[in-house]
Each structure stands twice: as structure tokens, then as C-alpha cells.
Amino acid sequence: MGQTIYDFKVNDINGQELSLSQFKGKVILVVNVASKCGFTPQYKGLEELYKEFKDAVVVLGFPCNQFGHQEPGNAEEIKNFCSLNYDVTFPMFEKIDVNGANAHPLYTFLKESKPGLLGTEAIKWNFTKFLVDKNGEVVKRYAPTDDAQKIKKDLAQYL
């Protein structure tokens, strides 16, 4: 069997390493997030999705400052922003790069598993989303403009 998302370790927003294998059996939605983006209000829908399907679905937020410098804050500032403005309770992780030479290995895997339009692998903007099924396989890639409602419609087939 090939590589799955469970093969990766990531640091949470407090700097603690954790294995994504702890989410085995759940549908996972991986999102590169930013606090100062036009799509930032999507935090609200993502949080609602997480709360509604908490037993079966987990949303993982990865702050990234590669698009228009829209995530300039440090971990503490990002945590405070998400908590105060959107009451985010889904897991948040350390700020990472999703493109380029320093891209996090998780994102290299996600992009190779589900390329975007015309086969391009690069993440185009904040709030690009990857849906991973209960077996750790990347099954869908969503554009930054795709909101939680669109994702919710697709969830049924993976739950």
C-alpha cells in the first residue's frame, strides 16, 4: 500500500509534534489558512462543519504566510485571532510553507495525490482544501472559493 496521510507527523500550534495517525477512522479536511485574507470568514463555516460532524470529521488548519503575506502573526497571535473572531476549536498547527523548496512534506504529499486544475500541483491561495477519507487517502481537492457548504454536500459519501 502506498503512503497515506497517517504517515506524517506535524507540529501543532503550540509546537508539540503529533502523528496524523491519531485521526484514523475519521474523514479529514486539511486547509491552509490565513488571518488577513478575503476568505478568512470561511473559518466560521469550517468551525460549524467541525462541530456538526465532530465524531466523524476533523478539520486541520495550517497557517501559511506564502500568499500576499496574509498570515504575518506568530503562533500566539494566530491562536488569539482564531479564538476571538471565529471561536475556532478544530486543531490548528504551526505556520508552514505549502509551496516551494521548504514546503512541508504533508503538503507535498497532498499536492501529488490530488493535483489542481490542469494537473498543476502548486497551491494557488489561502483556504485551498483537501478531503481525506477514513483510510487516509486524499479523495478531493477544493479551491479557495469552495466554502464549507459545498464540502458538506460531498461528505455524505465518505462518512
Among 37, 59, 78, 103, which one carries the catalytic annotation? 37
Q: How many CB atoms lie within 10 A of CB 148?
A: 23
To which residue does cell 506568530 refer? 74
Q: Is 37 a catalytic residue?
A: yes
Q: How far, in Å, CA of 86 to CA of 71, rounded?
A: 16
**Cβ within 8 Å of residue 98, ≥6 positions away:** 32, 62, 64, 66, 104, 107, 111, 123, 128
Residues 122 and 116 sit within 8 Å (Cβ to Cβ): yes
Which residues are tagged catalytic? 37
